[in-house]
Structure 1
Amino acid sequence: MSDWGKVRLHVVTGKGGTGKSTVASALALALATKGANVLLCEVEGRQGIARMFDVDPLPYEERRLTTGLPDADGGRGVVHGLHIDAEAALLEYLALYYRLGRAGRALDRFGVIEFATTIAPGVRDVLLTGKVYEAVQRNSRNKGAIQYDAVVLDAPPTGRITQFLNVSNELAGLAKVGPMKSQSDTMMTLFRSPQTAVHLVTVLEEMPVQETADGIAELRSADLPVGGVIVNQVRPQDLSSEALSAARAGTLDRSRVEADLTSAGVALDGTSGATLVDGLLAEAADHAERRALEDSQRELVAGLGVPSYELPRLAGGMDLGGLYELAGLLRQQGMA
């Protein structure tokens, strides 16, 4: 049973370096169950989706990427990708709502589109989020377009997410009336509804966890719906608490370590053998120190008052197989 069964727009944000694009991709795979169409969007111009799924750079066009994670009956949905570009979104907006097809492209040639989106950053955000809104709330204006069961947005970082989604406030000083103001107000109805959830990705380090807490507070102050916290890149927890304590204190049984290495066929002759054991004990102490830090940050995450999920650090690096593995873990934990 999914914790977010009523949500159609999953916004994924996080501090840079926490792996939000990886988590967004894995979530899209987890949501694409039998018969479901899921759209994975990005708005930062990095072509992260293309790199994640090892495909050519995406145009401003919805493209089929892959099938989703199999459900309990073996059924799969389909994941589509979309790279949203502000200038292309404005041309589409002019064509859909003002029927400015060729005229809109003429404006683009004269540089008017780039000027409009550069001089007023609020307008750029409205255009980017407007395309996301259109994908969630498809209507007859976009004839023949795919109807999506869920949309996952690989969104800007935590420090900018509230500003990015709070488009009505961003436009307040630019447009008090008119179709763009009306559209932004309509978009805010979706963004503040139970159909939307803003999920935050973090790692178990002090700065990302603090930024996650600050982001949750900012989202709540703007009446934007907070989703879950995904703790990414969690280290393996193979050692017992007693072994970790001994490693931190430097009291691990050296002779036992040497015996284990010898039984595994590792020669410990002379200086090189002693150096090897010293290195292993130092690594154990470092690992134990790191685990203690992670445990303290995990307690802070638990106190944020929102559901949390954990994904491991994958030793082999990230590829499509790794994404499916993470998708399975998200589904097991009830996120999809």
Structure 2
Amino acid sequence: MTSTQEEGVPAAPPWGAARLHIVTGKGGTGKTTVASALAIGLAAHHHRVLLTEVEGRQGISQTFDVPPLGTEETPVTRVAGGGEIVGLSVEPKAALLEYLQLFYKLGRAGRLLEKFGAIDFATTIAPGVRDVLLIGKIYEANRRRQDGRHKGDSPPAYDSIVLDAPPTGRIGRFLSVNSEVADLARMGPIHSQAESITRLLQSGQTVVHIVTLLEEMPVQETLESIEELGAKGFHPGAIVVNMVREPLFDDAALDQAREGRLHKPSISAQLAEAGVKVTPALVEGLLDEARDHALRVDLEREQLALLESTGLPIVTLPALPGGVDAVAVRELAEVLVAEGMVR
């Protein structure tokens, strides 16, 4: 992020008032990893964070190496300073039963509906109902106070909520489904709740972060998602460029590699000094790899320029050679804090 404060101190993020952080990205970009790292960073600053997922992939449990999450909010890990992350895997059937009990007091009747298959029908067949229920559970957790109520002076149950959301190809429809439901249901609790959820998602309390790689398809989906989110009244946050690798050469060497002008005798001499048997085929192969690397760097810089043209804050996370585990996610969280994504 660009600093507007004293040198070395990142500027406060423009979403400083947000409590609900939605993380999306094209599949394979590492959005679950980023959501988990963001939750750790927020927990270090804001103490109690709910980290949720809605796709049933158990990505959170795999990331933190804990047992699979159920439909109950479950402590996942603690961070330095006493912060806590609570995990939740939102499941449509459980969310609908909770909804029926909350708004219609259908405890036993709701279970009877489940027995006759009505719950499965509603969550798998009825258009849009699944997404309404998934978002509705997040909305409820956001409203809940420490005393268990949804109104009053008690502090919020969670200081921040991080949602590992559906991918960019589906995020616009996922977030706007409640406005569509409000249009269909003209009155009653379904209408009022759908309107309330839409207000939350379009308010300053909610921000949508997009995870991408410096590759053409993820960047194109990112740009399309930013346009779609803005058109639908949602607030894009940071663009998180994940798995960034530094160039192996400086710009002068990249130019030489791109044009096939690297000095073969020097390469051969360095290989020989390292104890490698030098052959013409080996040298030519290395030159081809160097050229491919230079072209790759060119492509990544082009894609980064496209992302910068959006004007949104850009946060970069390094590629981790050892892969991603619970320790690595904490390292990435430190990077997010250092780059000013969390304050």
Q: Could you say whether these structures have the same fold, taking a TM-score greater than 0.5 normalized by the shorter chain as the test?
A: yes
**How many Å apart are 1:99 and its aligned residue?**
2.0
Residue type at the aligned position of 1:8: R
- The worse-fitting range, judged by mean Cα deviation, of 165-174 and 123-132 is 165-174
With 170-179 and 146-155 compared, the bigger mean Cα shift is at: 170-179
Residue 184 of structure 1 and its aligned partner are, at CA, apart by 0.8
- 1:123: which partner in 2? 129
CA contact (8 A) 1:86 1:127 kept: yes
Question: Corresponding residue for 1:216?
Answer: 226
Q: Are 1:268 and 2:274 an aligned pair?
A: no
3-state SS of paired residue (1:247): helix
Assess if the C-alpha contact under 8 Å between 2:143 and 2:156 holds in 1.
no
Query: Is 1:106 equivalent to 2:116 in the alignment?
Result: no
Would you say 1:47 and 2:79 are equivalent positions? no
Alignment match, 1:12: 23
**Post-superposition shift, 1:180?**
1.2
Range moving further from structure 2, 282-291 or 149-158: 282-291
Question: What's the CA shift for 1:76?
Answer: 4.2
How far is the alpha carbon of 1:141 from its aligned partner?
4.2
Q: Following the alignment from structure 2 to structure 1, what is the Cα–Cα distance between the partners of residues 123 and 177?
A: 14
- Preserved CA contact (<8 Å) 2:182 2:194: no
1:158 aligns with 2:175: no
Cα shift at 1:278: 2.9
Q: Which runs of 5+ in 1 are unaligned?
A: none
Write the letter of the residue equivalent to 2:63: M
Letter in 2 for 1:138: R
- Displacement of 1:280 in angstroms is 2.4
How many angstroms does 1:234 deviate by?
1.2
Q: TM-score, normalised by structure 1?
A: 0.92
Alignment of 1:241 onto 2:251: yes
Counterpart position of 1:299: 305
2:236 equivalent to 1:226: yes
Q: Which amino acid aligns with 2:214?
A: L
Contact 2:73 2:88 in 1 (8 A): yes
What is the letter of the counterpart of residue 279 of structure 1?
Answer: G
SS in 2 for 1:24: helix
Residues 226-265 of structure 1, C-alpha deviations (whole Å, 9 max, x = no match): 11111111122342011111111111112222233333x3
Partner Cα separation in structure 2 for residue 142 and residue 305 of structure 1: 37
Aligned to 2:37: 26
Is the contact between residue 96 and residue 141 of structure 1 (CA under 8 Å) also seen in structure 2?
no
Matched letter for residue 195 of structure 1: Q
CA distance in 2, matches of 1:80, 1:327: 16
Alignment correspondent of 2:5: none
Moved more, 98-107 or 14-23: 98-107
Deviations 1:174-203 (A, max 9, x none): 422111111010111111111100011111
Q: Which deviates the most, 22-31 or 251-260?
A: 251-260
User: Which digits, 9 at most, give the CA deviation of each residue in 1:122-161, with x for residues without a partner?
Assistant: 2211110011111111144479998111100000111211
Distance 1:257 1:67, change over 3 A: farther
Separation of aligned partners in 2, 1:111 and 1:249 = 66
TM value normalised by structure 2: 0.90
Q: State the SS of the aligned residue for 1:33.
A: helix
- Measured in 2, the distance between the counterparts of 1:190 and 1:104 equals 28
Which residue pairs with 2:337 in the alignment?
331
Query: Secondary structure of 1:162's partner?
Result: helix
Q: In structure 2, do the counterparts of structure 1 residues 34 and 309 end up closer, same or farther at CA, with 3 Å as the change threshold?
A: closer
Q: Structure 1 residues 122-131 or 294-303, which shifts more?
A: 122-131
Measure the CA separation in 2 of the matches of 1:199 and 1:35: 18
SS in 2 for 1:223: coil
The residue number in structure 1 matching 2:286 is: 280
The CA deviation string for residues 197-217 of structure 1, in whole angstroms up to 9 with x for no partner, is 001111111121111111111
For residues 288 and 314 of structure 2, the distance between their equivalents in structure 1, rounded to whole angstroms, comes to 32
Selected match of 2:267 from 257, 260, 277: 257
1:41 is matched by which residue type in structure 2?
T
Give the secondary-structure state (helix, strand or coil) at the position aligned to 2:40. helix
Flag structure 2 segments of 5+ consecutive residues without an equivalent.
Answer: 1-10
Equivalent residues, number: 327
Question: Are the aligned partners of 1:52 and 1:319 in contact in 2 as well (CA < 8 Å)?
Answer: yes
The Cα of 1:312 is off from its aligned counterpart by 1.4
**Deviation of 1:266 (Å):** 2.1
Percent identical pairs in the alignment equals 53
C-alpha separation in 2, matches of 1:9 and 1:136: 8
Alpha-carbon RMSD: 2.0
2:73 corresponds in structure 1 to: 62
Contact 2:143 2:150 in 1 (8 A): no
Greater mean deviation of Cα atoms: 248-257 or 191-200: 248-257
Letter in 2 for 1:267: V
